Structure 1
Amino acid sequence: MYKQTLTLLLLLPFQFLFAQKSSLNKFPKGYTPEEVGKLIAYRFVDAKHALHAGKWISYPETFYWNGALKFASLTDDAVLLDLLEKKFQPLFTTEKALLPVKNHVDLNMFGSLPLELYQITKNRKYLELGLPYADTQWEVPATANAKERSWAEDGLSWQTRLWIDDMYMITIVQSQAYKVTKDVNYIDRAAKEMVLYLDKLQRPNGLFYHAPDVPFYWGRGNGWMAAGMAELLRSLPRDNKYRPRIMQGYQAMMESLKAHQAPGGLWNQLIDEKDSWAETSGSAMFTYALITGVKQKWLNAKAYAPVARKAWMALVPYVDKKGAVAEVCVGTNKKNDKQYYYDRPRRTGDYHGQAPYLWCVAALLEK
């Protein structure tokens, strides 16, 4: 008995040390999700619009807005919520022309924003604005080409293009529509779409090509896929026939990301290229997917919580005192040229990076 007690006492410091290095609940000052979230979310209140083609609210702005709203809701920050809602009101009046048209995967995802506002406020005007963006992803327009019609005939979105970016754009608005209506058609069609992308783009190593004709493991592109699977699995009913396939794809990707995490804690612009630069937006998306997997018990906490914590601790120093995230790859079209990905410019405060940090914040704050 004495020996057992002594052994236990000797082990306690090591167990405590492991708990500190793997905990997703306790962080040192300056690294807590509350501090980081407040800094980044409040930055958005007075930020300028980031427009798609100079005309409409873009997807990076939409996701930044969504992330700030989620933070305000989780922290019961009524002041922030009020400021964010007031920022939206001109889109019903003087800025109505900035509402995206419903003809592209990067534009329809805007519907996720009013649907998030509806979940928080229960004001039906947000529901009525948001749902058509989800519906028209499957309503084939008269102007659709033969390829788009072919996708629709297979029960897929006519906006399908087999870029991995799509699997957040489509997933987020369909998942939000399912949450607010409880209509399983929304979540079923998102799941079917996800399986198509898994079958077409995921490689044996668990990572994803940017597109069938672009065989590179681009960081943020893979990030959209990681975050999209995590979002979908959170909403997908347990008995959904597509769930096992999506879970398999998700877990395979997380295993690969664990292996490719750089010593510093982040992931590179090209995930499998060690001489590529550490990129924050994709790294934050991976971190969100990992945190979510650990908390939802899709991943073994002992194996993956330390990976997620190491990544979060590495991400925070890239946020400056004004809440701007550095080392963010700019918006990136696809190109079958590896050097193209190496040479993409990097920015500080780019909305592509601001939003995923807030997703991580929300995942850390959620019970």
Structure 2
Amino acid sequence: MNKIILVLIFCCVSFNMNATSISKESILKVAEHVFDWQQQHPTGVDLWDWEYGAYYSGLADLYKADTKIKYLKAMTDMGNQYNWSVRPRPYDANVLAISHMYLDLYSLIGDPRIIDKTVYCLDASFHRTPREPDVTFSGNRYWWSWWSWCDALFMAPPAFAKYAKITGEQKYLDKMDELWTITHNYLYDKNEHLYFRDDRYFQQKTPGGKKVFWSRGNGWVMGGLVKVLEVMPKDYNRRPFYEDLFKEMAAKIKQLQLKEGYWPGSLLDNSHYGGIESSGTAFYCYALAYGINSGLLDRAEYEVSVMKAWTILVENIDESGRLGYVQQVGDAPDRVTADDSEAYGSGAFLMAASEVYKLVSNK
């Protein structure tokens, strides 16, 4: 009963499933509810780790839509607690996830200490010992030193792109593009228009004989595309590649959405750990809403998909504010329950809220 009440209060969704059926106020209210719960329920990992990097990235997006002091305080408290640092592993894409928030705050505040460690990490990419890129994952003890797993395309590229915008130095965008392209050429399935999580899945099949494409993995990629595209100059020579990739993946993702509004953990085989998986669904809601808001996707074609995804996500928030059905840390489809939550799931939801808010505002 409490969950039904939450949906009615926060969503107010009518049968026709369009943006006119959801109020801006309800979006911000449910986002605040999720934020409050996550702040009160730390997961135990360090706040500069990628799990929280995705959370704070989403919080920075929410703050652009709703400038509550407590959101800003949560971000600045975290930064001050960790001295605005990143983990000292400069080639590992995961360490740059927290830098999304640092760079967004720097753009607001302008204090150089907020990004000085991030800049050191970004610059390390220009000074590494020259050698052939190696994006193999299986059997590679240094798998983390290149973007060898598709999640990396969310973690690191936005940091390069955001800093390029801040400084006006195209070399950071060019480096991001160079590294993304290497990973794309290795992990992207041109027939399915989806990314393999890493090379261990090239030949794997689901119990139903389908290719294994992980929902959250492709959600990471689409989230990374959004964050890169929103700061990439319109006249950047490689922008058409990213726009075309985004539209190609969006069309595939829309096709794979189930009638209930969610995406399962295994995108091509709902019998393989079927049922809702909230983190992937939140990333797709975020990406498709951004696509409409930016003009890359047709509103008439994609709006219903966004609203159905938003509705099912809100249904999976309990009365305390916990977003459930979030697959735990992993690298492949797995079972989830209503009790499963993670900081990155909350972060993906806040990203979705920020873009659905814009969508409703522009109805």
TM-score normalised by structure 2 residue count: 0.81
Classify 1:344/1:239 alpha carbon distance in 2 versus 1 (closer, same or farther; 3 Å).
Answer: same
Pairing partner for 2:194 from 207, 211, 214: 207
Aligned residues: 326
Aligned to 2:309: 311
Deviation for aligned residue 1:284 = 0.6
Q: 2:257 aligns with which of 212, 236, 261?
A: 261
User: Pick from 83, 98, 101: which aligns with 2:88?
Assistant: 101
Q: Which amino acid aligns with 1:193?
A: L
**Match runs of 1:106-255 below 5 Å:** 106-140=94-128, 149-151=131-133, 159-203=145-189, 204-215=191-202, 216-255=212-251
Q: For 1:174, what is the secondary structure of its paired residue?
A: helix
Letter in 1 for 2:77: K
Contact kept? 2:150, 2:221, Cα under 8 Å: yes
8 Å contact kept, 2:316–2:338: no
Give ranges in structure 2 of 5+ residues lacking alignment: 1-12, 135-142, 203-211
Q: Which residue type is aligned with residue 319 of structure 2? A: K
Q: For the residues of structure 2 that align with 1:68 and 1:46, how far apart are their CA atoms?
A: 15
Segments of structure 1 that go 5 or more residues without pairing to the other structure are: 1-16, 142-147, 335-340
CA distance in 2, matches of 1:35, 1:89: 27
Determine the structure 1 residue equivalent to 2:208: none
Residue 354 of structure 2 corresponds to residue 362 of structure 1: yes
Letter in 2 for 1:325: L
Q: Which amino acid aligns with 1:222?
A: N
Q: Deviations over 1:75-113 (max 9, x none)?
A: 121243224323432222xxx8x8511332212333223
SS in 1 for 2:213: coil
Cα gap change, 1:174/1:205 in structure 2, threshold over 3 Å: closer, same or farther?
same
Q: Match of 1:350, as an amino acid?
A: E
Residue identity over aligned pairs, in percent, reads 17
Deviation at 1:193, TM superposition (A): 2.6
Shift of 1:158: 8.6
Within 5 Å, give how 1:36-55 maps onto structure 2: 36-48=30-42, 50-51=44-45
Deviations 1:30-77 (A, max 9, x none): x9320121112233444436436xxx7211112212322332342121
**Cα offset, 1:331, TM superposition:** 0.9
**Cα distance, 1:241–1:263 mapped onto 2, change above 3 Å:** same
RMSD between aligned residues = 2.9
CA distance in 1, matches of 2:121, 2:27: 31
Letter in structure 2 aligned against 1:72: Y
Decide which structure has the larger Cα Rg and report it.
1
Q: Which moved more, 1:278-287 or 1:194-203?
A: 194-203
Q: 1:354 to 1:158 in 2, by over 3 A?
A: closer
Asked if the contact 2:328–2:341 (Cα under 8 Å) also holds between the matched residues in 1, the reply is no
Asked whether the 8 Å contact 1:22–1:302 carries over to 2, the reply is: no
Shift of 1:270: 0.2
Contact preservation (8 Å) 1:115, 1:127: yes
Question: 1:243-300, CA deviations, whole angstroms, 9 ceiling, x for partnerless residues?
Answer: 2222222111111111110111000100111222321101111111100001101011
Q: Structure 1 counterpart of 2:101, which letter?
A: L
- Which of 1 and 2 has higher RCO (CA within 8 Å, sep 6+)? 2
C-alpha contact 2:217 2:280 (8 A) present in aligned 1: yes
**Equivalent residue of 2:105, what SS?**
helix
Aligned equivalent of 1:34: 28
